[in-house]
Structure 1
Amino acid sequence: MLYNSTENNKEVVSAAQAIAQGISKDGGLFVPQELPKYTEETFKSLLGLSYNERAKIVFSDFLTDFTEEEIADCVDKAYTVEKFGSECPAPLVAKKYNGNEINIMELWHGPTCAFKDMALQILPHFLTKSLKKTYDGKTAVILVATSGDTGKAALEGFKDVDHTKMIVFYPEDGVSPMQKRQMNTQKGSNVNVCAIKGNFDDAQTGVKKIFTTDEIVELLHKNDMLFSSANSINWGRLLPQIVYYISAYCDLVNSKKINMGDKINIVVPTGNFGNILAAYYAYCMGMPVNKFICASNQNNVLTDFINTGVYDKNRQFYATASPSMDILVSSNLERLLYKFSGNNDELVAKWMNQLKTEGKYEVTDEVKKEITSKFFGGFCDDTNTKATIKELFDEEKYLCDTHTSVAINVYNQYVEKTGDKTPVVIASTASPYKFSHSVLEAVAPEAICDDEFTMVDELNKITGAEVPKPIAELKNLEVRFNNVTDADKMPEYVKNTLGI
């Protein structure tokens, strides 16, 4: 299988090159030239397999320049019981909300308690093998812009990995205190963390600009280095996310919640569009899906886009209780536009240029029709986010985080609007303890205080929900990083950190 750039489909690369390079030289994103097709028989053959066995099959269909042994080595090192607590790293939990049955896919049992672990525990293994195939001997410099979860998951995945260096940028006031502490206490001799004065979009724009700055790329080349990415712009980040949707479908069949061939609805809380795009790719491969429900917080640029066909980032930016979705530039949407436009790289490049220069673009009527036929967009503000956390806890004694709450609330809006009761999978993207202040404010506001770890203890005492070990251990870790820079100084920070 070969890969093209969304903004220049004359560029053709192997899977290993797409993963090692991270992003195309023209700034486009790598996408497979075609997707593998899974029939009902394919899905039946997956039913009796473990998560790891399913993952190996899916990966082998996309990473055709990897050997079977290489893929097995990547999977078996990434998805261990030690890291994820069980042989199923993405369990489904059946609950009810407002009388509707919901299947919550818990994606946060990994070492950083967020869904990014599902991809970022395996990406270092993909990347090191890709580097050997394509850029033997070079050191990969991995730049990450994070709205909270990707940063810590990437740091944890890549710490002390040979031939890699990592620099993570996060918005100084745009992550939760727990996310900030997770990043700033990170161990590893090859990692560095820096806050920026600005929001996530500033960090993401800065990283993409550094990637395509000839002067810096040349400096890296002279020092036997090259840039790569651990953000979901890297195909190696997106591919592992396809697996858990396919696996969830098999789990629903095995638990007799659905029959083989039945359609499901999928709800994803998302800002950067990668997690829901992975679900859409699983559908394109053959997984039966009725509707993709895209859940946003008050930064509802995706909701407006799905409903109008106009993407407009020229709007007020809100710092919300679900900070990982505080995003106005959804970078992975570019891949969906490429697919819906019939792989029209010139049109996608035009839209992306309009986004850079004018802050907005409008898709064609044909593309808009495709989007509205498969996607529903809704959003939820902080008041309703907290109300939903409390309602679900009161009803089911189940504690969810703020992002999962947004998804559940928007799903409820969808059912009320459409009456559609198709069996549903809701992506739960983080442990509630990563956002203890907001979650505690929802279930017991009288217990709010200034100390993050006291609130963790209170939340545990009041709800009985188990505190994940990685969060419990954070309290005693030494803070290593207190760096802050202006967004326009990010290139200098990178050069100084690398000593080039």
Structure 2
Amino acid sequence: MNLLYKSTRSDDTLVTASQAILKGLAEDGGLFVPTVIPTLDVNMDELSKMTYQEVAYEVMKLFFTDFTEEELKNCIHKAYDEKFDTEEIAPLAKAEGAYYLELFHGATIAFKDMALSILPHLLTTSAKKNNAKNDIVILTATSGDTGKAALAGFADVEGTKIIVFYPKDGVSPIQEKQMVTQKGDNTYVIGIKGNFDDAQSGVKAMFNNKELAAKMDKGGYQFSSANSINIGRLVPQIVYYVYAYSRLYKNGEIAKNELINIVVPTGNFGNILAAYYAKNMGVPVNKLICASNDNKVLFDFFSTGTYDRNRDFILTSSPSMDILISSNLERLIYRITGSDASKTKELMDSLSNKGNYEVTVKMRDQLKDFEGGYASEGDTADIIKKIYEDTGYVIDTHTAVAASVYEQYKEAAKDSSKAVIASTASPYKFARSVMNSIDMKYDSLSDFELIDELSKISNTDIPKAIEEIRTAPVLHDKVCDAADMQSTVEDILKL
């Protein structure tokens, strides 16, 4: 079966997987979604015997049906190789009665590596399949992790340029250092005076600007996206939930078809949406627990049925979740409308124009798979300290948000189901916040002294990604106003 993709905002467009990957965003501003979510065609007994790469093929072949077996396997094997510091790619660690799915063993020590290691290969293969004549310009807004992972993935990839915008004062020192030291003749990193939502809105505006598209085409360029709005980002994220379940089963941690809960620290909603897709493919999942930090727009949505971004934007110790416009939620909204593109467009227009929308009672009834929770800054620090003191296991601030929400959920729901917690970043990436949570005595240390101390107390090796930036020179120092993002892009491309 050839699986096609359509926009969440109109019924006019049907495209292949490679076309959807290449475009990134639909021309009407909507997101590409598969016309159906396919069902896994191999059982858990078979999956449990497979490597990560083999599981990846079994999942992705169902979504990317216009890729040949050779093309897809080539993309997978180029992505999941020695860039990862463990053969398992996404190992599970058991601590405090939960299973932490460690998604940070790639080149930039955050979960974005899981998808952004393969996206450049999917994208360049898609370009060839569709005879794209233009160079591809990856235009991306980041709240900290996507930027570096995309830069690392696309650096010096022929026929591409990558331009990353990030909030100048809204990422951790390590995140910023990782981005501004990025090598590659085709890489551009710009800080903006504003927050992540400003950066994301600016990027979306450029994608939807027809005049700019014409100017780009004339200059020999076309935009694509490395954000999780690209279906080429979302599908690879489904893989690790399928893989996690298969490992638990293989290791005798769960019985056949035993239901588990999945807990995800959530900002842009892509990572938990991937878990939802995995459930719909047939992975035995009970609850999808959506964990927010103090920017609890998603918690409020699941609690009330109203999505409202009209609120103060709070900078927290989990900056990758400091988001008030969760772009990937649109894909879930489309599904709970009964795939009603006009209704989805109406709600998204309301979000753009008024800053909020409300779903119907009937739509809310279809959100029963989800539970929302949030952790304050105090909750986040407390759980890092508790888990370390109880077990010696150190988690980062984003994972801690999920761990705290899971503790709250267990107590409230009296649910003893086994749980997989998406561990989305290495504690080394947020060393100051992590170490201060454990003991404020570390606060006087410099960033890299903290790294060394973290290595000692956690009994883990300092990741290569951190060692590399210790002495790396700053190669990108450009800063612009949010209003000047487009002119900055035009200058870079000499349009």
Whether the TM-score (by the shorter chain) exceeds 0.5 is yes
DSSP-derived class of the 2:422 partner: strand
Q: 1:10, CA displacement in angstroms?
A: 1.9
CA distance, structure 2, for counterparts of residue 414 and residue 116 of structure 1: 26
d(CA) in 1 for partners of 2:455 and 2:58?
Answer: 39
Structure 1 residue 199: Cα displacement: 0.4
Partner of 2:460, secondary structure, is coil
What value does the CA root-mean-square deviation take over the aligned residues?
1.0
The code of the aligned residue for 1:207 comes to V
The one-letter code matched in structure 1 to 2:89 is P
CA distances 1:321-352 after superposition (whole Å, capped 9, x unpaired):
00000000000000001111110000110010
- 2-structure distance, mates of 1:177, 1:116: 18
CA contact (8 A) 1:399 1:465 kept: no
- Counterpart contact for 1:113–1:470, Cα < 8 Å: yes
Q: Which residue of structure 1 lines up, in the alignment, with residue 105 of structure 2?
A: 109
In the alignment, which residue of structure 1 is the partner of 2:385?
Answer: 390
- Looking at structure 2, the residues matched to 197 and 487 of structure 1 have their Cα atoms a distance apart, in angstroms, of 6
Q: 1:279 to 1:391 in 2, by over 3 A?
A: same
Separation in 1 of the partners of 2:366 and 2:311? 25
**Partner Cα separation in structure 1 for residue 310 and residue 67 of structure 2:** 43
Which consecutive unaligned segments of at least 5 residues does structure 1 have? none
Whole-Å Cα distance in 1 between the matches of residues 89 and 440 of structure 2? 32
The yes-or-no answer on 1:240 pairing with 2:236 is: yes
Map 1:169-248 to 2 at 5 A.
Answer: 169-248=165-244
SS at match of 1:433: helix
Instruction: Provide Cα deviations, 1:386-405, integer angstroms capped at 9, x if missing partner.
Output: 11100000000000000000
For 1:352, the aligned partner's letter is M
Q: Which amino acid aligns with 1:172?
A: K
Moved more, 175-184 or 56-65: 56-65
* 1:142 Cα deviation from its structure 2 partner: 0.6
Q: Tell me the TM-score normalized by structure 2.
A: 0.98
SS at match of 2:323: coil
> In the alignment, does 2:61 pair up with 1:66?
no
- SS of the residue aligned with 1:84? coil
Q: Distance in 2 between matches of 1:311 and 1:362?
A: 6
Question: What's the secondary structure of 1:174's corresponding residue?
Answer: coil
Residue 95 (str. 1) matches residue 95 (str. 2)? yes
For 1:156-167, list aligned pairs within 5 A: 156-167=152-163
Does the CA contact (< 8 Å) of 1:449 and 1:455 recur in 2?
Answer: no
Residues 197-225 of structure 1: per-residue CA shift (max 9 Å, x gap): 11000000000000111111001111221
Cα deviations by residue, 1:81-107 (Å, 9 ceiling, x for unpaired): x211222111011111xxxx1000000
| Cα drift, residue 478 of structure 1 | 0.9
Letter paired with 2:276: Y
Is structure 2 residue 322 aligned with structure 1 residue 320?
A: no
Deviation at 1:301, TM superposition (A): 0.2
Aligned: 1:4 with 2:6: yes
Could you report, residue by residue, the CA deviation over 1:44-71 in whole angstroms, capped at 9, with x for unpaired residues?
A: 2212111101111111111111110001
Aligned partner of 2:39 in structure 1 is: 37
In 2, the alpha carbon distance for the partners of 1:176 and 1:116 equals: 16
1:252 and 2:252 aligned: no
- The answer on whether the counterparts of 2:20 and 2:32 sit within 8 Å (CA) in structure 1 is yes
Unaligned 5+ residue runs, structure 2? Answer: none
1:131 aligned partner: 127
Contact 1:310 1:362 in 2 (8 A): yes
Rounded to whole Å, the distance in 1 between the matches of 2:93 and 2:11 is 41
SS at structure 1 position matched to 2:90: coil
For residue 457 of structure 1, report the CA deviation from its aligned partner.
1.6
Show the counterpart of 2:345: 349
What amino acid does structure 2 have at the position aligned with 1:425?
A: V
Question: Is residue 40–residue 59 contact of structure 2 (8 Å, CA) maintained in 1?
Answer: no
1:435 offset after TM fit, Å? 0.5
**2:273 matched to 1:272?**
no
Cα distance in structure 2, aligned partners of 1:215 and 1:166: 20
Q: Determine which of 430, 435, 457 is the counterpart of 1:462.
A: 457
What displacement does 1:450 show? Answer: 6.1
Tell me how far apart the structure 2 counterparts of residues 469 and 291 of structure 1 sit (CA, whole Å): 35
Which residue of the other structure, out of 14, 17, 27, is the alignment partner of 2:16?
14
How far is 1:138 from its partner?
A: 1.7
Q: AA paired with 2:426?
A: S
Could you tell me which residue of structure 2 aligns to residue 46 of structure 1? 47
Deviations 1:370-426 (A, max 9, x none): 11x111100011111111100000000000000000000000000010000111100
What does residue 491 of structure 1 align with?
486
Deviation by residue 1:116-162 (Cα, 9 ceiling, x = unmatched) = 00000000000000011114332111101000000000000000001
CA distance in 2, matches of 1:474, 1:135: 38
- 4+ long deviations beyond 3 Å: none
Query: Taking structure 1 as the reference length, what is the TM-score of the superposition?
Result: 0.97
Deviation at 1:459, TM superposition (A): 2.1
Which amino acid letter does the alignment assign opposite residue 337 of structure 1? Answer: I
